[in-house]
Structure 1
Amino acid sequence: MRRILPILAALWLTACSAATDTPLPNDYTPEPYVKLTHPEWSKDAVIYQINTRQYSEEGTFAKVQEDLPRLKELGVDILWLMPIHPIGEKNRKGTLGSYYSVKDYFGVNPEFGTKEDFKSLVDAAHDQGFYVILDWVANHTAWDHPMATEHPDWYEKNWNGDFRPTPWWDWSDIIDLDFSKPGVRAHMSDAMTYWVEEMDVDGFRADVAGYVPLDFWEGVRARLDAIKPVFMLAEWQTRDLHARAFDATYAWEWKDAMKNIAQGRADTGALYGYYSANESAWPADAMRMIYTSNHDQNSWDGTPFDIYGDALESAMVLSFVGEGIPLIYNGQEAGNTKRLEFFEKDLIRWNDDHPFQDLFRNLIELKTDNPVLHNGAWGARTTKVENDNPQKVFSFIRRRGDEAVLAVFNFSDTLQSVSFTDALPHGTYDQFQSDATITINSDTTLILEPWDYRVYSR
C-alpha cells in the first residue's frame, strides 16, 4: 500500500496539471443567462400599500378610487391592494376574517364592492399614471374553498390524513395546497392570468412566496410577461427569487437592523452588515423592499412610533435614500398612531396636516429627480463614506459621474459631531428640504442633534 500511494499521487498531479494546462476552445462562449426584465415604469417607483377595509368608513374600492388624486399628489406609483377575494367562513378568525383566507381566486369580496367597482378602480388608477398590484395567496386557501371538496387530493395532509394549516404557525383559518399536483399549479396560474388579462392588473405581491416552489413562480412570471410587463413582489428574502420570478423581495434584515439601532440594541454596525451583504451577495438589479411599516408590522409588532421612537424620521429618510424600493403603508403619511385590528373593522386615523405628508412627498420627489436613487441597477450603489465617529454616525454616498446624493445620520440619542476622513464626499451640494448649499471638504465638521440627519444632492 505504501508503494501504491506515491504512484497514485503522481498520477493525480499529472491529471490536474493536464486539466489546468488545457486551453479552452477559441470559439468557447458561456451559455447566456436569461433572466427577467423589470418593467421600465418600476425604475423609480414607490409602493403604497392599501388596506381597503380600514382605508375609509365605507371600506370600498369606490372610496379608494375617490382618494386617487391625493395619492397622485403624494407621488407614489405602485398601488398594492391587500387581497380582494371572498374570505372563508369556516374556522374564520374574528368577525370579518383574514384577507389571507381565500375562498375564491376568481371572485371579489362583496365587503369591498363588485368586480365592476374593482375594474373601475384599476382603470382610474391607470388613467392617473398608477400601476396596480394584487396581494396573491398561493400557499393556502380557506377551509371552505370549493377545491377542498372537489379536489381534496390537491391539499397537503397531516399525520392523521386530514387537511392541515401551514405547520407551526397559528394560521388555523387556512389549509395548505400541495404544489406537487399539476391541478393546483394550473388553477393558480389560470387565476393569476385572469386578473392580468381581464382586469388589467399590473402584477402581484406574493404572500409567503418561499413556501411555494420557485419553479411555479418562474413559470407564471413568464406566462404573465407574455401578456404585458408585470411587477412581482415576493414576501420573502432570498436572492435566487430575483433571477426569473420577482422584481422585488422583502428586506427583513434592514428592518431588523434599523429596529435594533432605534431601540439601543445595536450601533451602526448592524447597517454595515446589511449593506455589505446587499452589495456582495445580491444581484445589482435586485429591488429589496425597504419599509418602516406594513400591515403585519402595524397589527402584530406596533406602529412606527412604537418601534422606532425618536429615530422614526431618520429611518423613513434612510428607506428612501439608501438602496431599495420604498414602501409606504396607508396612514403613515398621516401619522397614524393606531395598531389596526386584523380581523375587524378598525379605521385609520387620518390627519392630512401631519408633517409626514410633506416629508414623504419631498422624499419621493428627491428619489424621482436624482437617478442615483433609482431602484435596482437603474440607481447607484450605496458606498460607505468613512468618518471619524463610525459607531454613531452612518454616512454614505450614491454617485454616478457628476451626480451624487450624500447622506449622514446620527443614529444615537446624543449630540454628535462628525468629519469625513477621505475625499470621497468632497463637493458642493444642495441640502434636502432647505435652500442651503454646502461645500464638503477636509475641513468640514457637521453637528447633528440626536437621531438627526443630513441629505445633500448635486
Structure 2
Amino acid sequence: MIITNSTFTLKKSKIALLILSGLFLSACNETKPIHIEKSASLSEVKALPLKNADDLDPYLNRNIQDEVFYFVMPDRFYNGNTDNDQGSKTDIISAGGFDKADKGMYHGGDIQGLQAKLPYLKGMGISAIWLTPIMRNQAMQGDSSGYHGYWILDFNEIDPHLGSNEDLKRFINAAHKENIKVFFDIITNHTADVIKYVECHGEDGLQYLMKENDGCLYKTLAQVAAGDTYQAVIPKGQENLKSPAWLNDKKYYHNQGDTTYEGENSIYGDFSGLDDIDTNSPEVVTGMTEIFKNVISEFKPDGFRIDTVKHVNIEFWADFAPALVDHAKAIGIPEFFMFGEVYSGDVKELSAYTTVGKMQSVLDFSLQFALQDTLIKQQGTHKLVEVFESDAYYNDSDSNANQLLNFTGNHDMGRFSGMLKSSDFNYSEAEIIQRTLLAHAMVYFLRGVPIVYYGDEQGFVGDGGDKDSRQDMMPSLVDSYNDDDLLANIKTTADDNFDENHLFYKTFAEYADIYYQYPALRFGEQKFINADNKPGIFAVSRTLKDEEEIIIVFNTAKTEKSVALGFTLKNGEKIYPAFKNNEFVDGTLTVPPLSFAIYQVR
C-alpha cells in the first residue's frame, strides 16, 4: 500500500536538481578492496560554492541547527601525550588501568590527541565535537577501568589519563579558532562506586556477601518507608575521595540497592553499584547546579549532553536546565545548548523532557529505532512516518523537532553497520555499505541535527554494543577489534585509521557540504509526501518560509522504485543524471535501490 500526503503541493516554479547521491556497488567477492562505483561525483552537481565550518556563523552566535556533530570517546581516538597514559602520578584512585590489549582498559587517547586531529575533523565538515565525560574518574572498578568517563569522583578537574585542565582549555580554544564547538558529556545521576552496604559488603564495605550475579537487591520506596533499609558504609580511607566535598556525605544518595532499570528503581536504584544521587533533595539540586555552573565558567564549553536523563526525577531537570542556560548566557555564551539521553523510542516520553523537564533537546532514539526497522529489519517506510507525525509533541518556547539530535548508533547500542552485520538477513558487505550510507543520509537530511559516531567515517563495524563498539582510531592491540574487517577499507583497527580518502569520510564531508549550503535542510519545516508499508520510497519536503523548498526522496528497497511527485518538467529544464538509470518522466521519479535524491524547488 502506498501512503501519500494528498495535501502536498509544489510551488509553480523552476525545479532544479540539487543532488542525486546513489552508491552502486559492484558484485564483489570476499577479497578486498571492494570496488565502489559512483556514477557522478557529488562535486560535479553542486549548485552553490562549497561551505565548511569556516563559512558558518561564528561559533559563539551559531544556532544548534547549523551543527554537524562528531561524538568521540577521547581515550579511543588518538594519543597526543604518552606521559599521561597511566593517569595520576599522585592519587592512586585515579591511577593505572592502562592496557592497550584489553578492551575494558585505558588505551591512551587524550585531549592533546583530539587537538592534533582538529584538521581531520574539520575536513569532514564537523562543526561541533561531543566528548564522552572527561572529569576525573575512579580508575578501576572490578575488572574494568573508567576509560569511558562515567565513573566520576571529582567534578572540578579533568581525568589525568586525558590530560590537565589547561590541556582542556587549550583544546577548546583551538577548536573555537577553527569555528568548531565543544560539548561536554555530563552526569548528575550517579558518581563512582564508593558507598557500600553492610548487608551486601560487610561492616568494612570490602566483602561480597550477595549471591552470584544478584547484586545488592533493590529496596522499594515502600520498604524504605517501613524502615527496611540498607546501612550505607564508606570503606576506611575513602571518606574524602569525591569533590566537591558535599558529595562525600551518604545522606545525599538514595542507598536503596541496584536498579533493574524498571519502574521506580530506574530512578532510585544504583547502576551496577554506582552511587545513585538523591536528586529530589533541594541541597542536591543546588549543589549539582553549582558544580556545572563552575564547569561552564572555567572551561567555556558550548553545551552539554546529559547522561541517563530518564533515571533522574523530571522535576530536577526543570530547575537544573534553565539555570545552566541562563548562567551560560550571563557569562557570554548566548547559544549554550543542552540535550539529554532518554533511552526510549516513545515520543511522548522523549518530549516530556523538553517540555515538562525544560531541556532544550534530546537524542532522537525514536528515529534511530525507525532506521533499524526500515534499513535493517526491512520493514516499511511508514515506520518513519510514525516518528515524524509526532513531532509537534516537542514544540514549546525553546524546543522543536528540528533541534533533535539524529544518530545511527553510539557507544552503548553499537554501530549501525554492526547491527546490519549481525542481523538475520545475512547482508553482503556491499549491501551493508549501501544501507549504512543511506542511514547516514537520513540522519543528515531529515529534520534534526546530525551526529557522526567516531570511527563510522572509517568503516568501523564491531561485534556489538558497549566495549565492542568502542574501537581505537589509533593502532589497536585488542584482538577482538583487529579481527574485524572494516567497510570499504583494506585496513583493520590494528592500523592508524584517519584516512581522509576513505569512502565514508568523503561521503560524510559531501553530506555536510549539502547540509550547510541549503538552510531549508537545517531550519525548514518537514512535510511528509510519500511512504509505503513495505521497503520502498520515503519522500518529504523541507520548506523555509517562502525562501527555499527542498524535496528529498529515499528508496529503502533492493529494487528501483518510482514515485509521482505531482509536477511535470518543462522542456529544456536540466536534471543532472547522477544515477545512470535515473528517470524523471511525466512527474514520476524513478530512484535506484538503496539510494536517495534531493531536489530544490526554486
1:373 corresponding residue in structure 2 = 521
1:131 corresponding residue in structure 2 = 181
1:30-49 alignment runs, 5 A limit? 40-49=62-71
2:210 corresponding residue in structure 1 = none
Shift of 1:367: 0.8
More divergent stretch after superposition (361-370 vs 210-219): 210-219
More divergent stretch after superposition (293-302 vs 194-203): 293-302
Alpha-carbon distance between aligned partners in 2 of 1:233 and 1:124, rounded to the nearest angstrom: 24
* Per-residue Cα deviation, 1:248-302 (whole angstroms, up to 9, x for no partner): 2111111111101123352111011111112x43317341111112221227994
1:99-138 alignment runs, 5 A limit? 99-138=149-188
Shift of 1:343: 9.7
Alpha-carbon distance between aligned partners in 1 of 2:524 and 2:118, rounded to the nearest angstrom: 31
Alpha-carbon distance between aligned partners in 1 of 2:467 and 2:76, rounded to the nearest angstrom: 9
1:26 corresponding residue in structure 2 = none
Alpha-carbon distance between aligned partners in 2 of 1:429 and 1:399, rounded to the nearest angstrom: 22
Asked if residue 325 in structure 1 is aligned to residue 449 in structure 2, the reply is: yes
Whether contact under 8 Å (1:95, 1:343) holds in the other structure is no
Change (3 A) 1:304 1:121: farther
Alpha-carbon distance between aligned partners in 2 of 1:425 and 1:322, rounded to the nearest angstrom: 25
Whether contact under 8 Å (1:45, 1:325) holds in the other structure is yes
Residue 341 (structure 2) aligned to one of 235, 250, 265: 235
Change (3 A) 1:239 1:149: closer
Please list every run of 5 or more consecutive structure 2 residues that lacks an aligned counterpart in the other structure: 1-59, 80-107, 195-240, 343-348, 424-430, 474-492
1:171 corresponding residue in structure 2 = 271
Alpha-carbon distance between aligned partners in 1 of 2:67 and 2:317, rounded to the nearest angstrom: 25
Alpha-carbon distance between aligned partners in 1 of 2:569 and 2:304, rounded to the nearest angstrom: 39
Shift of 1:157: 2.0
Please list every run of 5 or more consecutive structure 1 residues that lacks an aligned counterpart in the other structure: 1-37
Whether contact under 8 Å (2:569, 2:587) holds in the other structure is no
SS for the counterpart of 2:299 is coil
2:211 corresponding residue in structure 1 = none
Shift of 1:404: 2.5
Whether contact under 8 Å (2:380, 2:532) holds in the other structure is no
Asked if residue 152 in structure 1 is aligned to residue 250 in structure 2, the reply is: yes
Whether contact under 8 Å (1:232, 1:245) holds in the other structure is no
TM-score (norm 2): 0.61
Alpha-carbon distance between aligned partners in 1 of 2:273 and 2:147, rounded to the nearest angstrom: 8
2:191 corresponding residue in structure 1 = 141
TM-score (norm 1): 0.79
1:419 corresponding residue in structure 2 = 563
1:14 corresponding residue in structure 2 = none
Whether contact under 8 Å (2:539, 2:552) holds in the other structure is yes
> Which residue type is aligned with residue 117 of structure 1?
D
Matched length: 409
Change (3 A) 1:303 1:417: closer
Shift of 1:119: 0.9
> Which residue type is aligned with residue 242 of structure 1?
T
SS for the counterpart of 2:404 is strand
Change (3 A) 1:430 1:232: farther
Shift of 1:321: 0.9
SS for the counterpart of 2:510 is helix
Residue 288 (structure 1) aligned to one of 392, 404, 409: 404
Whether contact under 8 Å (1:164, 1:176) holds in the other structure is no
Alpha-carbon distance between aligned partners in 2 of 1:60 and 1:51, rounded to the nearest angstrom: 9
2:137 corresponding residue in structure 1 = 87
In terms of fraction of residues, the more helix-rich structure is: 1
Alpha-carbon distance between aligned partners in 2 of 1:351 and 1:431, rounded to the nearest angstrom: 32
Asked if residue 181 in structure 1 is aligned to residue 281 in structure 2, the reply is: yes
Change (3 A) 1:92 1:247: farther
Asked if residue 456 in structure 1 is aligned to residue 595 in structure 2, the reply is: no
1:295-306 alignment runs, 5 A limit? 295-298=411-414, 302=418, 306=422
2:510 corresponding residue in structure 1 = 362
* Per-residue Cα deviation, 1:280-330 (whole angstroms, up to 9, x for no partner): 433173411111122212279946655693421111101111101110111
> Which residue type is aligned with residue 150 of structure 2?
Y
> Which residue type is aligned with residue 272 of structure 2?
S
Asked if residue 382 in structure 1 is aligned to residue 404 in structure 2, the reply is: no
Change (3 A) 1:387 1:177: closer
Residue 387 (structure 2) aligned to one of 253, 274, 291: 274
Residue 51 (structure 1) aligned to one of 48, 57, 73: 73
More divergent stretch after superposition (355-364 vs 138-147): 138-147
More divergent stretch after superposition (299-308 vs 211-220): 299-308
Change (3 A) 1:218 1:445: closer
Alpha-carbon distance between aligned partners in 2 of 1:380 and 1:372, rounded to the nearest angstrom: 4
1:35 corresponding residue in structure 2 = none
* Per-residue Cα deviation, 1:178-233 (whole angstroms, up to 9, x for no partner): 01223322221122112211111111100012333222323333333322221111
Alpha-carbon distance between aligned partners in 2 of 1:186 and 1:395, rounded to the nearest angstrom: 47
Change (3 A) 1:441 1:249: farther
More divergent stretch after superposition (292-301 vs 347-356): 292-301
Change (3 A) 1:136 1:362: same
More divergent stretch after superposition (142-151 vs 401-410): 142-151
Change (3 A) 1:69 1:263: closer
> Which residue type is aligned with residue 390 of structure 2?
A
Asked if residue 334 in structure 1 is aligned to residue 458 in structure 2, the reply is: yes
| Aligned CA-pair RMSD | 3.4
Change (3 A) 1:89 1:69: closer
Whether contact under 8 Å (1:293, 1:329) holds in the other structure is yes
